[in-house]
């Protein structure tokens, strides 16, 4: 077996040869002429001159060897549906969806926004876009109209694919009214909506604009739509993510680099073999869903489980029953989900035959040791933490057991993955911290590897100024995470350097939540901070200064206003962004120059020392918060 340190070194020092080898893991129509073009940093063009197609690699190329094997396994405990699509059937469904999109005028380079619950049609839509060279942007179904509107406006889709409703814990969440409201709010109006009717909620239709999926699908049954050979550097999709401003960023990804990155990761990190089954419990609205529900496993020729439902419904054994039934070999989830399961009867872990499982991968938020130990003891398989970001598309730090088996360390996601030149630097001097256990900012020196974001959608300038300009004296990519590296080269992630919070593995910008709360007519000022939570990792906590204080003169009035403010966030951003509490104060802690002291508020909320307060304008503001929490 290869030595991992050598493998990693080679990926950086002999970059072109290394990635030319990885590029053989996928099919190309035309082989790339150049492997890595980094002549205009920080932009990187991977596999220029090559032509390929993500859908071909995920679906068509498996028809030869495994047409009748499972590809997409759809399970919904919300609607009690279960359907296994073979590669042949998936091929047919995707062609049908592609034909329907073409009939709605979608051409190569056009944009299709996908606002869908976890149903098979969502995966068909993604793959269909990839097939015809349309750029997709999947918006998480838990987001509400204002979040959706800002994405529609930025992405300017010609078609939006959606459904009547999602469902969570048996509760139907109608999508169409949210979508209609989002379109009303957006300056850009899509030409067509393609709507999947699950029969869960009524839909008002706008004639001429709104089309029924079942009806159009019937018209295009049995059609053949060939894959369009795309340039490796063409855009495959964008996915929006939160940052420090209220405006979400469209993380833009290519075609060839992404396909190679995923194929390589399935082999080296996720131990996936063709014919096996992969189960990622994420949602297609997140990057994990793109990479490891849809594209990655399928590119590897694996079956992939797409699960709609909770981990504890009908009971806490549901996931393990799927592992047994479909002989899942690799499973991918988030620490929060494990913490939810940990509160249930541990007997569920022993009830099913889990002998097919090789490893459980966890990502999205810090993995605490008790959670890791509990699940590791319960399952008896390796638990592999992996650290990455929407921007990277695949793990930055983990253990590549497919290259060389290496020990994991509790609390550490692992070591830098091949292709990533990860460093720790001093936040204000930019100096590289090479001694063990020194805390600094985790950065990546360019060129970034295949699969990494190409740029911010339609905003190269923002890409450079946001990600590549925060460290003095050098152009490196900032992850905006604090970290340390121990003497053995293992990294530990210590939280964000910016105002991004992580609630149950979902990344949220505190500014977006603040902007939403500010739209309540009685809110004068607001500060939102992320506070440590035993279940969700972090929760959002809002501190609000109100205009008319009579609105909080008694407990009932205070509770009502708190509920009203939460509802504003629910309606605009979605329940995922709803603060756990809204507390009322008469002033917020700020510096003399008017900057909010979010970190001091967070420290107080977590019972920690708020640190240096020499710049605070009025210390009583922080005291108020302390008193409130006492
Ligand atoms: P997202 O782009 O939503 O995937 O969020 C990425 C952020 O989540 C990172 O910048 C980290 O702050 C956090 N994160 C993701 N994975 C891990 C992990 N394994 N350990 C610690 N933090 C993580």
Q: What pLDDT score was predicted for residue 1?
A: 65
Q: Write b or e for each residue in 266-305: b if 16 or more Cβ atoms lie within 10 A of its Cβ, otherwise e.
A: bbbbbbbeeebbbbbbbbbbbbbbbbbbbbbbbbbbbbbb
Percent of the chain with pLDDT over 70: 100
Q: Kindly tell me if the per-residue pLDDT of 551 is higher than 90.
A: no
Whether 624 is in the pocket of ligand 1, judged by its Cβ within 6 Å, is no
Q: Kindly tell me if the per-residue pLDDT of 272 is higher than 90.
A: yes
Whether 243 is in the pocket of ligand 1, judged by its Cβ within 6 Å, is no
User: Dihedral of CA 440/364/285/165: which sign?
Assistant: negative
Confidence of residue 553 (pLDDT cuts 50, 70, 90): confident
For residue range 173-182, list pLDDT tens digits in order: 999 999 999 9
d(CA 594, CA 588): 10
For residue range 369-420, list pLDDT tens digits in order: 899 999 999 999 999 999 999 999 999 999 999 999 999 999 999 999 999 9
386 CA distance to ligand 1 middle (Å):
9
When mean pLDDT is compared across 12-26, 48-62, 505-519, 555-569, the lowest value belongs to 505-519
d(CA 486, CA 567): 45
- Mean pLDDT, to the nearest integer, of 329-336? 96
Q: Kindly tell me if the per-residue pLDDT of 578 is higher than 90.
A: yes
Strand, helix or coil for residue 22: helix
Percent of the chain with pLDDT over 90: 90
Q: What pLDDT score was predicted for residue 499?
A: 87
For residue range 430-464, list pLDDT tens digits in order: 999 999 999 999 999 999 999 999 999 999 999 99
Report how far apart, in Å, the C-alpha atoms of 268 and of each of 145, 382, 399, 418 are: 40, 15, 9, 10
User: Dihedral of CA 114/395/498/423: which sign?
Assistant: negative
Q: Kindly tell me if the per-residue pLDDT of 630 is higher than 90.
A: no
541 CA distance to ligand 1 middle (Å):
20
* Residues 87, 19 contacting (CB under 8 angstroms): no
335 CA distance to ligand 1 middle (Å):
11
Q: What pLDDT score was predicted for residue 613?
A: 84
Measure CA 565 to chain center. Answer: 27
For residue range 336-359, list pLDDT tens digits in order: 999 999 999 989 999 999 999 999
Return the best residue to mutate from 240, 290, 332, 387 for the ligand 1 pocket (most ligand atoms within 8 A of CB).
Answer: 387
| Cα atoms in the 13 Å half-sphere on the side-chain side of 400 | 25
Other C-beta atoms closer than 10 Å to the C-beta of 199 total: 8
Q: Kindly tell me if the per-residue pLDDT of 243 is higher than 80.
A: no
Residue with CA nearest ligand 1 atom 20: 366
- Mean pLDDT, to the nearest integer, of 267-292? 97
Please name every residue paired with 159 in a beta bridge, in sequence order, or none if there are none.
112, 192
* Residues 181, 145 contacting (CB under 8 angstroms): yes
Return the best residue to mutate from 140, 493, 498 for the ligand 1 pocket (most ligand atoms within 8 A of CB).
Answer: 493
Whether 510 is in the pocket of ligand 1, judged by its Cβ within 6 Å, is no
Q: Write b or e for each residue in 180-189: b if 16 or more Cβ atoms lie within 10 A of its Cβ, otherwise e.
A: bbbbeebeee
Q: Kindly tell me if the per-residue pLDDT of 552 is higher than 90.
A: no
Q: What pLDDT score was predicted for residue 164?
A: 98
Confidence of residue 252 (pLDDT cuts 50, 70, 90): very high
Whether 502 is in the pocket of ligand 1, judged by its Cβ within 6 Å, is yes
Whether 52 is in the pocket of ligand 1, judged by its Cβ within 6 Å, is no
Confidence of residue 501 (pLDDT cuts 50, 70, 90): very high
Whether 241 is in the pocket of ligand 1, judged by its Cβ within 6 Å, is yes
Q: Which domains does the chain have, with CATH numbers?
A: 84-223 (3.40.50.980), 504-629 (3.30.300.30)
Q: Strands 303-308 and 277-280, how do they pair?
A: parallel
Q: What element of type H or E holds 267?
A: helix 256-268
For residue range 16-36, list pLDDT tens digits in order: 999 999 999 999 999 999 999
Strand, helix or coil for residue 46: strand
Q: What average pLDDT is seen over the chain?
A: 95
Q: What pLDDT score was predicted for residue 199?
A: 98
- Mean pLDDT, to the nearest integer, of 97-105? 98
Q: Strands 192-196 and 230-231, how do they pair?
A: unpaired
d(CA 308, CA 61): 28
The closest-lying atom of ligand 1 relative to the alpha carbon of residue 413 is: 19
54 CA distance to ligand 1 middle (Å):
26
Q: What pLDDT score was predicted for residue 117?
A: 98
When mean pLDDT is compared across 124-128, 159-163, 245-249, 255-259, the lowest value belongs to 245-249
Q: Kindly tell me if the per-residue pLDDT of 474 is higher than 90.
A: yes
DSSP class of residue 536 equals T
């Amino acid at each position: 077996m290869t030595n991992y340190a050598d493998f990693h070194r080679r990926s950086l020092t002999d970059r072109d040869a290394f990635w030319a080898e990885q590029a053989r893991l996928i099919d190309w129509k035309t082989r790339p002429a150049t492997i890595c073009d980094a002549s205009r940093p920080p932009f990187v063009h991977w596999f220029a001159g090559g032509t390929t197609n993500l859908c071909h690699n995920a679906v068509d190329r498996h028809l030869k060897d495994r047409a009748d094997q499972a590809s997409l396994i759809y399970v919904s405990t919300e609607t009690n549906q279960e359907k296994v699509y073979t590669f042949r059937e998936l091929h047919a469904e995707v062609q049908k969806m592609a034909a329907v999109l073409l009939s709605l005028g979608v051409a190569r380079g056009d944009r299709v926004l996908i606002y869908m619950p976890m149903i098979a049609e969502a995966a068909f839509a993604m793959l269909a876009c990839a097939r015809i060279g349309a750029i997709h942007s999947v918006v998480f179904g838990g987001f509400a109209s204002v979040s959706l509107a800002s994405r529609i406006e930025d992405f300017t889709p010609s078609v939006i694919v959606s459904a009547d409703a999602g469902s969570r814990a048996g509760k139907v969440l109608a999508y169409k009214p949210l979508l209609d409201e989002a379109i009303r709010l957006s300056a850009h109006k899509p030409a067509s909506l393609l709507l999947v009717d699950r029969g869960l909620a009524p839909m008002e239709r706008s004639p001429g604009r709104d089309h029924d999926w079942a009806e159009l699908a019937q018209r295009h049954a049995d059609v053949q739509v060939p894959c369009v050979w795309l340039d490796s550097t063409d855009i495959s999709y964008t996915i929006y993510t939160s940052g420090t401003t209220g405006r979400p960023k469209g993380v833009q990804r290519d075609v060839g680099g992404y396909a190679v990155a995923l194929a390589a990761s399935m082999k080296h990190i996720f131990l996936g073999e063709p014919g096996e089954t992969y189960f990622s419990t994420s949602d297609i609205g997140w990057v994990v869903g793109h990479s490891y529900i849809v594209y990655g496993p399928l590119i590897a020729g694996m079956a992939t489980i797409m699960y709609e439902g909770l981990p504890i419904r009908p009971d806490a054994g549901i996931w393990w029953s799927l592992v047994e039934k479909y002989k899942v070999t690799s499973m991918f989830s988030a620490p929060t989900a494990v913490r939810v399961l940990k509160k249930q009867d541990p007997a569920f872990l022993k009830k099913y035959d889990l002998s097919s499982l090789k490893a459980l991968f966890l990502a999205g938020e810090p993995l605490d040791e008790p959670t890791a130990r509990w699940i590791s003891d319960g399952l008896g398989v390796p638990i592999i933490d992996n650290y990455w970001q929407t921007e990277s598309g695949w793990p930055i730090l983990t253990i590549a057991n497919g290259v060389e088996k290496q020990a994991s360390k509790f609390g550490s996601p692992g070591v830098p993955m091949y292709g990533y030149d990860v460093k720790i630097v001093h936040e204000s001097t930019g100096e590289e911290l090479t001694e063990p256990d020194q805390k600094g900012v985790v950065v990546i020196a360019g060129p970034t590897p295949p699969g990494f974001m190409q740029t911010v959608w339609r905003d190269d300038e923002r890409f450079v100024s946001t990600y590549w300009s925060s460290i003095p004296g050098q152009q490196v990519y900032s992850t905006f995470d604090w970290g340390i590296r121990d003497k053995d080269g293992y990294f530990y992630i210590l939280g964000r350097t910016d105002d991004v919070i992580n609630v149950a593995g979902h990344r949220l910008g505190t500014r977006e939540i603040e902007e939403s709360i500010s739209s309540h007519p009685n809110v004068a000022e607001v500060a939102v901070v992320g506070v440590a939570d035993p279940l969700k990792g972090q929760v959002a906590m809002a501190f609000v200064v109100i205009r008319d204080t009579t609105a909080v003169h008694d407990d009932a009035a205070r509770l009502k206003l708190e509920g009203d403010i939460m509802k504003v966030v629910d309606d605009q951003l979605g329940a995922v962004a709803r603060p756990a509490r809204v507390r009322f104060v008469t002033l917020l802690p700020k510096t003399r120059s008017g900057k909010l002291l979010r970190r001091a508020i967070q420290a107080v909320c977590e019972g920690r020392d708020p640190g240096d307060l020499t710049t605070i304008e009025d210390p009583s503001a922080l005291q108020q918060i302390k008193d409130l929490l006492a």
